[in-house]
Amino acid sequence: MSETPSITNKASKPGIVWPTFLMLTITPAVSLVGIVWYQLAVGFEWHHWVTFAVVAALNGISITAGYHRLWAHNAYKARAPMRLFLALFGAAAFQNSILVWASQHRRHHRHVDCEEKDPYSARKGLWYSHIGWMLRHYPTNDDDFSNVNDLQRDKIVMWQHRHYYSIALIMNILPPLFMGAITGDYIAHFLACGFLRLVYSHHTTFFINSLAHYWGRQPYTRENSARDNDLLAFFTYGEGYHNYHHLFQNDYRNGVRWWQFDPTKWLISVCSWVGLSYDLRRTPRFKICEAMVHQQLSSARQKMAGQRVSDKLRSYIEQEASQLATLLQEWRATREQWFVHNRDRLMGASAELHHSLELERKALRSKIKELEFSLQQQYQRLRTFNLTLATA
């Protein structure tokens, strides 16, 4: 007689990561109960919330400018004082050491949306990508520092990694303790600047792993689930422009337009004026616009596939695609000339030849601007075309 399959034969879930589980459950509980109790019993004052906002911003900026753009993506370089500052206040956010954080994030970018390799794959659901991936010993979370060899040569990164828990505890205790000593309101500052600030720092970062892969626009690529979201950018110090970031991950900017809210970009730029940051990496405007045009072409083809449209409209899109190919060919040829020109200038030249090279430089710069303008015009035409198709 065959035996009834036992329910225990099913694969069990990975074990719970108890330190993380307790921190991510106790801190919100203490914040909720403590904040409500203190407000009813005593009442918070304006300086409690100013301290909360300042320390939360220092934590958030240290994660975005430090952990993320500096160390995970090498989008710029920073002097030791700036790196030390970002390492200290980044540890205060209690999101693991720079080495672990950057290693996981690089795996996320390399294998985005892959359920077997992306540590916080959005394909596993909103809860999983937001917080669930940290609560159990999933194989995708195992430490593998083979992708951060460069960071293992950074003395500040390795110092923070070796002493992470001590640094994190000290950096979480000192601000509320210091403000409590000044004002005499120790409890209020530990509740607001301590517990509530930590919860806020956690979940604003977690929103980029979760909501930024579910909610928003995809103006640059649909090859992955990342999206641009202006509201998320406001709460995450500019990280909400996630569709752009996943395509151009080594750019020190996430909000690439001048009007987009990206205080992390502004901080890095200001620091470069005083020499604290340098070698800021920027994606050429032509490449950005090229991605947007490709996306508009793709959208047009998808819309036409589901509609009965004339051969004239289909021919128009193919003409636009052909024009894009021509523009790209001219761009590559001009860029190659630009690099050769710069090489010749660096090798030195006579006064007469230098004058000739300078004229050539101006001509090449003018050609690049013309190509960029042509591409921007093409983007506007295709955008109008897609809007017309959408309302037809």
Question: Residue 301 pLDDT > 50, yes or no?
Answer: yes
pLDDT tens-place string over residues 210-240: 999 999 999 999 999 999 999 999 999 999 9
What percentage of residues in the chain have a pLDDT greater than 90?
73
Question: Residue 320 pLDDT > 60, yes or no?
Answer: yes
Tell me the range of 114-123, 306-315, 355-364 where mean pLDDT is highest: 114-123
The predicted pLDDT at position 345 comes to 62
CA 250 from chain centre, in angstroms, equals 10
Question: Residue 285 pLDDT > 50, yes or no?
Answer: yes
The predicted pLDDT at position 346 comes to 59
Question: Residue 193 pLDDT > 50, yes or no?
Answer: yes
- Of the CA atoms within 13 Å of residue 387, those in its CB half-sphere come to 6
The predicted pLDDT at position 5 comes to 44
CA–CA distance, 225 with 121 (Å, rounded to integer)? 10
Question: Residue 169 pLDDT > 60, yes or no?
Answer: yes
The predicted pLDDT at position 210 comes to 96
CA–CA distance, 351 with 363 (Å, rounded to integer)? 19
pLDDT tens-place string over residues 20-48: 999 999 999 999 999 999 999 999 999 99
> What pTM does this model have?
0.90
pLDDT tens-place string over residues 44-95: 999 999 999 999 999 999 999 999 999 999 999 999 999 999 999 999 999 9
The predicted pLDDT at position 4 comes to 41
CA–CA distance, 101 with 110 (Å, rounded to integer)? 14
Q: Which band of pLDDT confidence, cut at 50, 70 and 90, is reported for residue 352?
A: low
The predicted pLDDT at position 10 comes to 45
The average pLDDT across 189-203 equals 97
Give residue limits of the domains in the chain: 18-278, 285-391
